[in-house]
């Protein structure tokens, strides 16, 4: 099987979106439907998230359970190893995930028996 190549018009990258790019590497643009939950997990690298549309509830565990409502416009910084998860709001959420240095972070999801608390 061989690659396929099609010519397309190049969409304009807005200055706002370009500002989210790391100096080198890539970032992820996540689109979560209403109520989508990413259960307890952690990353091997520091990560930054920027909520672009909708809202999410970020929850984390640092010896105790914490949660924060994050509407569009919220910038979140997650240190590597932070055990956390998120749930999209009623209208869903679109957010950017930018790992440290634009590298690919290793994500480790906890087994239900390892969850610090049920959400």
Tens of pLDDT along 43-78? 999 999 999 999 999 999 999 999 999 999 999 999
Average pLDDT over residues 90-109: 95
Q: Which residue has the higher pLDDT, 2 or 21?
A: 2
Does the structure show a pLDDT above 90 at 98? yes
CATH topology of domain 23-100: Jelly Rolls (2.60.120)
pLDDT band, residue 16 (cuts 50/70/90):
confident
Give the N- to C-terminal CA distance of the chain in Å, as an integer. 45
Q: How is 45-67 classified by DSSP, letter by letter?
A: S-EEEEEEEEEEEEEEESSSEEE
**Where do the domains of the chain lie?**
23-100
pLDDT score recorded for residue 119: 84
Bridge partners (DSSP) of residue 69 are: 57
pTM of the model: 0.88
Helices (H) and strands (E) in the chain, counts: 1, 7
| Residue 62: CA count within 13 A, CB half-sphere | 9
Mean pLDDT, the chain, whole residue set: 95
pLDDT band, residue 20 (cuts 50/70/90):
confident
């Amino acid at each position: 099987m061989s690659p396929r190549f099609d010519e397309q018009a190049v969409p304009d990258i807005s200055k706002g979106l370009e500002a989210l790019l790391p100096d080198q590497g890539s970032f992820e643009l996540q689109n979560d439907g209403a109520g989508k939950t990413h259960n307890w997990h952690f990353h091997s690298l520091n990560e930054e998230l920027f909520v672009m549309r909708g809202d999410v509830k970020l929850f984390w565990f640092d010896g105790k359970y914490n949660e924060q409502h994050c509407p569009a416009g919220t910038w979140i910084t997650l240190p590597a190893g932070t055990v956390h998860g998120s749930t999209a709001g009623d209208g869903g959420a679109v957010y950017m995930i930018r790992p440290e240095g634009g590298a690919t972070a290793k994500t480790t999801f906890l087994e239900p028996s390892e969850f610090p608390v049920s959400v």
